[in-house]
Amino acid sequence: MNPEWHLRLAGALQIILALLHLTFPRRFQWAEELARLSPLNRQIFHVHTFFICVVLVMIGALSLLAPAALAEPTALSRLVLPGFATFWGLRLYCQWFVYDHALWRGQPFNTAVHVACTVLWSYLTAVYTLVWLSMP
Phi-psi map region of 65: left, alpha, beta (phi>0 left; psi -120 to 50 alpha)? alpha
Among positive and negative, which fits the CA dihedral 101, 103, 105, 111?
negative
| Measured CA angle at 109 (ends 114, 8), to 5 deg | 50
**Position 18: which residue type?**
A
Total domains in the fold of the chain: 1
pLDDT digits (tens, 9 = 90+) for 76-109: 999 999 999 999 999 999 999 999 999 999 999 9
29 is in which domain, residue-wise? 3-133
pLDDT digits (tens, 9 = 90+) for 35-92: 999 999 999 999 999 999 999 999 999 999 999 999 999 999 999 999 999 999 999 9
